[in-house]
Amino acid sequence: MNSLVIAGLLLVLLGLAYQSGWSRSRGLATANGVKVHSRPQYHGSYVAIWTLVPALVIVILWAWLGDGITHNFIVGQIPVETVQSLDQVGLNATIARIKSLASGYGVAGEVLPYEQTAGDALRSFQFITFLVVIVAAAVAGVVALLYARSRITARLRARNAVERVINIALLACSAVAILTTVGIVASLVSEAYKFFTFIHPLDFFFGTVWNPSFSSTGGGAHGQYGLLPLLAGTLMITFIAMLVAVPVGLMAAIYLSQYAHHSFRAVAKPIIEILAGIPTIVFGFFALVTVGPFLRDVGGFIGLDIKATSALTAGVVMGIMIIPFVSSLSDDILNQVPRTLRDGAYGLGATKSETIRNVLLPAALPGIVGAFLLAVSRAVGETMIVVLAAGNSPVLRGNPFEPVATITVSIVNQLTGDSDFAGPQSLVAFALGLTLFVITLCLNVFALYIVRRFREQYE
Amino acid sequence: MTDMLSTGHQASVERTKLIRAGLRKRHLTENVFKGLGLAAIIVALGFVALLFVDIVRRGAPAFTQSNLHLSVTFDPAIIGVEPAPVRTDGQSDADFQAANLKWQRDLAMLNWNKVIEASLRAAAPAGFEIDTKDLLAIAETDARHQVREQFVADPSLLGKTVEVDVLASANAQNWIKGNIDRSLPDTQQQLSAPARALIDEMVASGAISNGFAWSIFTNVDSRSAPASAGLLGALVGTLWMMLVVIVLAVPIGVASAIYLEEFAPKSRITDFIEVNINNLAAVPSIVFGLLGAAAFINYMHLPISAPIVGGLVLTLMTLPTIIIATRGALLGVSPALRQAALGMGASKTQMVFHHVLPVTFPSILTATILGVAHALGETAPLLLIGMKAFVAAVPATPFDQATALPVQIYLWQGNENRNFFEPRTAAAIMVLLLVMILLNGVAIYLRSRLEKRA
């Protein structure tokens, strides 16, 4: 409600400002017949920007400081001896009750007299401060409007000023990407640091037992947080996924780029790429209800004990998911190999497959390896397939037919449920996230380095 | 001479033979290699087909629901309440409200299951022996609310008999649709033997029939009445998130692409921004969830489980995609256009916003839709910001608690009533895939249409 009123006020101010700048500029141009530097819409925008900034500053200041001021006001309304008798939690509860009384919703239980008076006082306080903020914003806006309007002359370089503002806004937008990275690193590092005050980093990175519950025996009162079982599970699933995705993806890319008729390619390529657009939760479900039971039955048929949720199931389905990633990257890289190399091989009498195996692939090898590494980083960070299909058994073992747990699964398990960021039970998610972030970052940077270096060879 | 010639000839014949033999081998290898390539394609296409066929085959049954056609008698012997309060002259608003509330409270206290039980018994053949508990297990648990609301809306029904359609319970639907193996022994069946017999009886007599399950689209998720659980809450939650993504990601993404491509001086800082954006595009999605949990929820105290937080997280995830695609599009605009604009006296900003940017609209639009489609299917980061919580309401604002379509799928696949929720999960997946295919279709259509014009 309040925010709607403020937004409406700002919009009206903006419209007024634009209109006034615009008409002033038109008047200038028609009255004296002088040559005005900027077009009327720039003068309009110029005045609008001048008007918006002070009004917005006041509103944002209030949004920023208002909560604290209101808080102090409420505390001031509660009798001093009551404040002293309450602890922090009780005080917060009282404040919440008073706020609720002021909003008119009422509270559960009996209302104490001082709560009622405080609630009434708060209500009038909120009303008055709201009016003050609105009036202050409006006055500041109007004053700025009049000032900006008075500055409009034929020689005012309104366009340049407006363009400078646009430029700053664009720069601010680019900064969002940086801020995101800073936010990721800052939140991961700070929360992981808190985690490492509970658990020694050596115990985390080299521990072989993952048992994040309160345990009375062994690794202290916080449970054991050994990364190695999770890392092993992640690597095993990634390895299986690459075992599926690399041959299929690479051969598909070779066939599509070297053999296929262009009409076949036009149909097959988009269909394979559909795989890349399917949400991973769908793959997870597919793995859980179809692939897992199928693999278990096949295992039973040939005498292998394969669990329905296992590293194998998750790995196979993840491999399917990565196929289009491998194939389209390999396709691009194969197409970048210069024609002359291929024609040279044909000229010597080589068959197509010989050309591909002896000329094309070696030439494209670094790029393809880069593509594989990118696929690996994607498999390492993949979550939903493993959450559903890997079985979540954080035990260090080498059998791919058994359930495993991965880093991503453990992040999900530790951070869903309660988001209390106080204990190592949930903070460990950030240490795991940091590990994951560093692993995938290294893989990506290395892969991009290889791909770029290779590309430059022919240019 | 002739000897040598003949040996030479012979050698060449032999060489030809050797080459022929080698050639046959080489051609064989060639065909094997080519066959392997084709096999890889077939495997990949086979996976696509298998996945879609499997999901559709599993999900299709969930789109039908079994309805019980009951003759419900609003028996005064069971519904022993006073008649609905009528507003008398001189009665104040508050008094009437209080009387009305008391009446409704009295109604809520009644055992409406007795009404349902009576009508179910009426539908059974004469002399059919069955426990009350087993009998009520046939109808969905919210049938009693449905009947009560009907009565509240029209109190004149007291003493009358009306035809009412209620949903069959999840277990009954499993039995009717064959989601559960009918040959399983009694101990493993969810319904008792008489209940199962009665269901078969009612199906035969037409008292149970199948209809399209509109409730999937019009109901919110439900724990107590699984057969009526629907996707509406998740759909609306997803729409709110997509709105946040579109409102934030597109302007910010396009603006930063414009800055980097058109205005930024080539310096260390812009190089750094560029590397940064490429890296962000490759950061695992779950890390964005960690960022959301730490920054938006723990630090900024935005509401947990809210689409606004989900939207913000997905926005940060989608930004790199949009920035990279927009930069590509801007790079593709011909320099002639720029020079023409500058030559006519446009400023650099005017050139970009009036001439270059409009040409790139098709590509930006397509990239946006593809980015949004990707964000739509994202699950993992949403689990970390609390959207996994059970929410049985349609979120009215982006600050309300909500769930999202992929998260709903995740919740349903984990439901204990596997037989019933597996088809329902597949059905939800079908809805999600349909939305994604539609979005991709729109992207392809727009690209082909707008690019021709441009």
The residue with greater pLDDT, A432 or A9, is: A432
Residue A153 reports pLDDT greater than 90:
no
Residues B43, B44, B47, B53, CA torsion sign: negative
pLDDT greater than 70 at residue A458: no
Please give the pLDDT value at position A216: 46
Judged by CB atoms within 8 Å, which residues 104-143 of A form the interface with B? none
Given a cut of 70, the residues of chain B with pLDDT beneath it are 1-6, 451-454
Structure tokens at B222: 């439900």
Of the pLDDT bands very low, low, confident and very high (cuts 50, 70, 90), residue A419 is low
Q: Which residues of chain A are within 8 Å of residue B283 when distances are taken between CB atoms?
A: 184, 381, 437, 440-441
**Helix B193-205 / helix B170-177 crossing angle, nearest 10 deg:** 60
Provide the pLDDT for residue B174: 84
DSSP A164-231: HHHHHHHHHHHHHHHHHHHHHHHHHHHHHHHHHHHS-HHHHHH---EE-S--SSSS-TT-EE-SHHHH
pLDDT band at A219 (very low <50, low <70, confident <90, very high): very low
Whether residues B286 and A436 touch (CB distance < 8 A) is answered with: yes
Q: Shortest Cα distance from B322 to chain A (angstroms)?
A: 12
pLDDT for the residue A381? 92
CB atoms within 10 A of CB A348: 10
Residues 214-233 of A with CB under 8 A from B: none
**Which chain B residues are Cβ-neighbours of A169 within 8 angstroms?**
255
Q: Say yes or no for a CB contact (<8 Å) between A272 and B44.
A: yes
Write down the pLDDT at residue A457: 60
CB of B282 closer than 8 Å to CB of B338: no
Task: With CB atoms and an 8 Å threshold, state whether B277 touches A440.
Answer: no
Per-residue DSSP letters for A385-417?
A: HHHHHSB--------TTS-B--HHHHHHHHHSS
Determine whether the interchain pair B279/A247 forms a contact, defined as Cβ–Cβ distance below 8 Å: no
Query: Measured between beta carbons, which residues in chain B are less than 8 angstroms from residue A415?
Result: 289-290, 293, 383-384
pTM for the whole thing?
0.85
Please report the pLDDT score of residue A439 as a whole number: 94
State the nearest Cα–Cα gap between A329 and chain B, in angstroms. Answer: 14
Write down the pLDDT at residue A217. 47
Decide: B157 and B74 in contact? Cβ < 8 Å. yes
A237 CB within 8 Å of a chain B CB: no
The pLDDT value recorded for residue A42 is 85
Distance from CA of A161 to the nearest CA of B (A): 12
Mutate to test the interface with B, among A174, A258, A446 (most CBs of B within 10 A): A174
Q: A134 to chain B nearest CA, in Å?
A: 24
Minimum distance, in Å, between the CA of residue B212 and any CA atom of chain A: 24
Which residue of chain B is at minimal alpha-carbon distance from A159?
A: B347
Contact A285/B41, CB-based, under 8 Å? no
- Determine which helix (DSSP H) or strand (DSSP E) holds A36, and give its type and residue range: none
pLDDT for position B4: 57
Closest Cα in chain B to A174: B256
- At B3 the pLDDT is 56
Asked if the model's pLDDT at residue A107 lies above 50, the reply is yes
Range A384-401 burial, b when 16+ CB lie within 10 A, else e: bbbbbbbbbbbeeeeebe
CA dihedral (B136, B139, B141, B147) positive or negative:
negative
Identify the residue with better confidence: A389 or B106.
A389
Task: Verify whether the Cβ–Cβ distance A177 to B256 is below 8 Å.
Answer: yes
Q: What is the pLDDT of residues A222-247, one digit of tens each?
A: 778 889 999 999 999 999 999 999 99
Q: Are B431 and B405 spatial neighbours (Cβ–Cβ below 8 Å)?
A: yes
The CA distance from B239 to B236, in Å, is: 5
Whether residue A324 lies within 8 A of chain B, CB to CB, comes out as yes
Q: Give the closest of A191, A284, A440 to B294, CB-based.
A: A191
The tens digit of pLDDT for each residue in A341-369 reads: 889 999 998 888 889 988 888 888 888 88
Judged by a CB distance cut-off of 8 A, whether residue A282 touches chain B is yes
Q: What is the pLDDT of residue B265?
A: 85
Is A167 in Cβ contact with B259 (below 8 Å)? yes
Q: Could you tell me if A402 and A310 are in contact, meaning their C-beta atoms sit under 8 angstroms apart?
A: yes
Rounded Cα gap, residues B18 and B23, in angstroms: 8
In chain A, residues 364-423 whose CB comes closer than 8 Å to chain B: 374, 377-378, 380-384, 387-388, 408, 411-412, 415-416, 419, 421
Give residue A21's pLDDT band: very low, low, confident or very high (50, 70, 90). confident
Cβ of B383 and A412 within 8 Å? yes
pLDDT at A215: 46
Residue A425 Rama label (left phi>0; alpha psi -120 to 50; beta):
alpha
The pLDDT assigned to A230 comes to 93
Token couple for B345:
């006296």
User: Best mutation site among B31, B286, B299 for testing chain A: the one with the most A CBs within 10 Å?
Assistant: B286
Q: How many other CB atoms sit within 10 Å of the CB of residue A102?
A: 20
If you measure CA to CA, which chain B residue comes closest to A375? B282
- The partner residue sitting opposite A351, judged by closest CB among B26, B276, B433, is B26
Residue A316 in contact with partner chain B when CB distance is under 8 A = no
Dihedral sign, Cα of residue B28, residue B29, residue B31, residue B32:
positive
Contact A416 B436 (CB under 8 A): no
For chain A, the average pLDDT equals 85
Helix (H) or strand (E) holding B286: helix B285-291
Nearest chain A Cα distance for residue B139, angstroms: 28
